[in-house]
Amino acid sequence: MITKAFLTSMLLSVVTLTFAQSWQIQSTKAIVKNNPKSYTDNIEMSGKRISAIVYYNIDSMGYLSLKRQLIFPQLRLHIKDNDPSWAVYRAYLKEEFSDEMLPLLYKDDKRITMAPLASLVIDGTIIFKHKVGPSGIEIERQLYPSAWQGRFIEEWKLTNRTEVSANIKVGDIKWLQNKPGYSGSYEVSVHSEHPDEITLLPNQSEKINIVYEGKNSNDQDKSNVDDKKERYALLDKAHSNLVFSSPDSVLNTLFAFSKVRAVESIFDSKMGIVHSPGGGRYYAGVWANDQAEYAAPFFPYLGIEDGNLASLNAYNMFFNQMKTIPNHDKNIWASFEMNGDVPCCGDDRGDAAMIAFGSLHFLLAKGDLSAAKEYEPMINWCLTYCEKKKNSDGVIDSQTDEMEGRIPTGTANLSTSCLYYGALDLAIDYYKALNYSTAFITTLTTKKQRLKSAINKYFGANVEGLDTYKYYKEHQNLRHWICLPLVVGIHEKKEATTEALFNRLWSENGVHVEKNSTNPDISKIFWDRATLYALRGTFIAGNTEETLKKLKAFSQTRLLGNRVPYVVEAYPEGNMAHLSAESALYCRVILEGMFGIKPKGLSSFLLTPRLPKDWNEMSLNNVQAFGSSFDITVKRIKNDIEVTTFNRNINKRKSIKILQGGSTVFDLKKL
């Protein structure tokens, strides 16, 4: 007979198992999975000369197996004569290492085997803590990339959990392979660093390292660098700057994790240091969307100089090409890949609009007048090019968009026109900061107003019963990028557009590209970048409560679900790779969406906080933008919102009360 008590005990055991299997937040710097079983995932970690994707599989008994895919972005290989033409864009030196290439451990003439896992921690490194096995030796394995060198380290911490001394013998690992490449002969090696024999007293620990390395055979050996110390220095810097605090621990933590992923994916190259997407495919290169539009506008707020310098180096590549097209009669490349040696590709994706929209935000937020002046010709080129691509309907022609022809986009798409509109909007304040004439500013304002009218007229349509936007003239389905008008401040159709994004296109993985009954394959596709733009746009349009609900669900899935701990690129393409610029976009949902930060000058910004009704306070601390270090605190005071900005540089603060949904402008030099 099945009793009520038996059913209750079974239910409790299922709940306990589910809790034990789930990811939990340990702090804003770390998540943990205790007693993991039947779980498979991967995580990417990067340094200046290496990126590592660690694939981990935990079986039903808790036993772990690893595969380490190591990418050395600077070490370009020759492609094979039967490779497809695109192979030249992915000719990085890559190696994969399984667990077969690990040192063997012995105690009392018996081999020590890895016990099942007790826990798995991700904190900017990945830590596998094994249970104590029959030998009485506890093994903890921590994996991380070198910050500066082409090295990947797997550190083992051996701890004696018995009550007597333990003598452990360690087998040695030495492996070396040479490969010819564009820059000479490359060496890939694996070696272990440890004494031959270790004696551990009870509860005493000792560490050994397994080092995976790729380098040019002529490179100078820098093995004396403390790789772990350098890795944590980067993590600590990311966690110390631009700190988001709210009542929601998931949002706080994913924001902190996203800062790490955004800033770690910066690589040495012949172009200087550059930010690159990663994901096993995109390294030591720059793209007009990922770097110029998505990531660069985030880096001034984070304030880690490598991020700002990498952004300028990306803009330099596009700027230099623009100088060779003085008549604006040819589009610029979409990317410069493989250390900048291999540009791509021929079609105009609206790249000039991408660069203008991203660089104007970056230059204003950076707050550096000399940089703003230096890149003025680049801004002028982009705006002039877009203006020349304006068609008879007043919108901007482009051959495709950032989806690069994966799905149809017509001859003029909503993305390119909206990005140009957003660029004109920012350009008004940019040229004011450069003291342009009132007449010039008036001309820009007129262009912006006319483009807004043209966008609403040309793209505005009843699509699937909603008064929203069609993506191009002949299009008949709702598509993810209809969120872009909301992002750039075109809000005439915000209710229907939000309905389309959050009800028609929304899934457990955010906004799908398109729901298309005649092409079901399109209906399966999602790109997180579109979800992140949609969340940013609906916040900007004032839809705080519904957007927060969607943001919380999406963040819970990405941080603590089955594919962790970052937002991803896409599916099925790339199989949800951890591309870096998407993490910058996540942070921008908070900065520009929830706090409503919008540059108004080199030292000033508009603030339109969207404080959720169940929150009494939220803050951003140690923001590094507009030429200052400052804090923003938003508090609920009865029916009003009190906004306080504190400029750390001059030790001054200013508090203003505004209505819910209201705005105010802060000039950090005039607090």
Residue 518, pLDDT above cutoff 80: no
pLDDT for the residue 517 = 67
Record the tokens describing residue 134, joined without a space.
Answer: 């029959």
pLDDT of 220 > 80? The answer is no
Q: How far apart are CA 28 and CA 243, in angstroms?
A: 10
Residue 123, CA atoms < 13 Å, CB-side half-sphere: 19
For the chain, percent of residues with pLDDT exceeding 70: 96
Given pLDDT bands bounded at 50, 70 and 90, which one contains residue 516?
confident
> Can you tell me the distance from the alpha carbon of 548 to that of 539, in angstroms, rounded to the nearest whole number?
8
Least-confidence region, from 127-136, 216-225, 576-585: 216-225
> What are 562-615's pLDDT values in tens digits?
999 999 999 999 999 999 999 999 999 999 999 999 999 999 999 999 999 999
What whole-number distance in Å separates Cα of residue 612 and Cα of residue 601?
Answer: 28
pLDDT digits (tens, 9 = 90+) for 225-273: 899 999 999 999 999 999 999 999 999 999 999 999 999 999 999 999 9
Half-sphere exposure of 355 (CA within 13 A, CB side): 36
Given a cut of 70, whether residue 38 has pLDDT beyond it is: yes
Residue 298, pLDDT score: 98
Determine the Cα–Cα distance for residues 599 and 596; give it in Å rounded to an integer.
10
Asked if 237 contacts 304 with a C-beta cutoff of 8 angstroms, the reply is yes
Torsions phi, psi of 85, nearest 5? -60, -30
CB 297 within 8 A of CB 354: no
Per residue in 608-664, pLDDT (tens digit) is 999 999 999 999 999 999 999 999 999 999 889 999 999 999 999 999 999 988 999
- ∠ at Cα 376 (374, 379), nearest 5°? 135
Cβ proximity of 356 and 423 under 8 Å: yes
pLDDT at 243: 98
For residue 634, give Cα distances in angstroms to 487, 607, 610, 618: 22, 10, 9, 5
- Best CA proximity match to 550, nearest among 596, 616, 505: 505
**pLDDT (0 to 100) of residue 661:** 87
Residues 382-392: tens digit of each pLDDT? 999 999 999 99
- pLDDT tens across 430-486, in order? 999 999 999 999 999 999 999 999 999 999 999 999 999 999 999 999 999 999 999
What domains can be seen in the chain, in order of their start residue?
Answer: 23-232 (2.70.98), 241-594 (1.50.10.10), 595-671 (no CATH)
* Across 352-363, average pLDDT: 98
Q: Decide: 277 and 265 in contact? Cβ < 8 Å.
A: yes
pLDDT at 17 over 70: no
Phi, psi for 38 (deg, rounded to 5): 50, 55
Task: Please report, for the chain, how many H helices and E strands are present, in that order.
Answer: 16, 36
Position 223 scores a pLDDT of 67
Question: Is 310's pLDDT higher than 50?
Answer: yes
Give the count of beta carbons closer than 10 Å to the beta carbon of residue 33: 21
Mean pLDDT over 69-79 rounds to 95
State which H helix or E strand residue 138 sits in.
strand 137-145
Amino acid at 507: S
E strand map for 434-571: 460-463, 466-469, 506-507, 510-511, 526-527, 570-571
CA distances from 580 to 43, 279, 290, 370, 576 (A): 12, 8, 9, 29, 12
- Residue 50: its H or E element: strand 50-58
* End-to-end CA, the chain: 75
DSSP secondary structure letters along 255-277: HHHHHHHHHH-EE--TTSSEE--
DSSP 298: G
Closest residue by Cα to residue 665 from 623, 611, 637, 626: 626
Of 526, 455, 514, nearest in space to 479 by CA: 514
- Burial (Cβ within 10 Å: 0-12, 13-18, ≥19) of residue 543: buried
Is residue 2 predicted with pLDDT exceeding 60? no
For residue 7, is pLDDT > 70?
Answer: no
Cα(605)–Cα(595) distance, rounded to whole angstroms? 11
Q: Residue for token digits 């401040």?
A: 489
| Residue with token string 């002949």 | 474
Contacts of 71 (CB under 8 A, 6+ apart): 50, 51, 52, 53, 92, 93, 94, 280, 283
Angstrom distance (rounded) from CA 11 to CA 14: 5
Residue 317: partners with Cβ closer than 8 Å, 6 or more residues away: 271, 286, 336, 340
Q: Are 300 and 625 in contact (CB under 8 A)?
A: yes
Of residues 13 and 373, more confidently modeled: 373
Q: Is the pLDDT of residue 318 over 90?
A: yes
Report pLDDT for 497.
98
1 or 206, which is more confident?
206
| E strand map for 378-493 | 460-463, 466-469
Provide the pLDDT confidence category of residue 21 given band limits of 50, 70 and 90.
Answer: low
| Rounded Cα gap, residues 599 and 364, in angstroms | 6
Helix, strand and coil in the chain, % to nearest 5: 35, 30, 35
Residue 14 clears pLDDT 90, i.e. is over it: no
Angle between helix 414-433 and 351-366 (nearest 10):
30
**H/E run at residue 521:** helix 520-523
Q: Closest by alpha carbon to 584, among 338, 310, 401?
A: 310
**pLDDT at position 222, please?**
67
Q: What Cα–Cα distance (Å) separates residue 361 from each residue in 304, 307, 609, 613?
A: 17, 15, 19, 30
pLDDT of residue 12: 36
What average pLDDT does range 207-233 have in this prediction?
89
Rg, the chain, Cα only: 26
Residue 10 in this model has a pLDDT that exceeds 60? no
312 phi and psi angles, rounded to 5 deg: -65, -40
Q: What is the model's pTM?
A: 0.95
What residues does 24 pair with on adjacent strands? 32
Q: Measured between alpha carbons, how far is 300 from 624 in angstroms, rounded to an integer?
A: 6
Q: Where are the beta strands (DSSP E) in 108-148?
A: 110-112, 117-122, 126-130, 137-145
Tokens of 323: 């100088």
- The structure tokens listed for 621 are 């601390």
Strand partners, 337: 342
Number of Cβ within 10 Å of residue 161's Cβ equals 15
Q: Which helix (H) or strand (E) holds 414?
A: helix 414-433
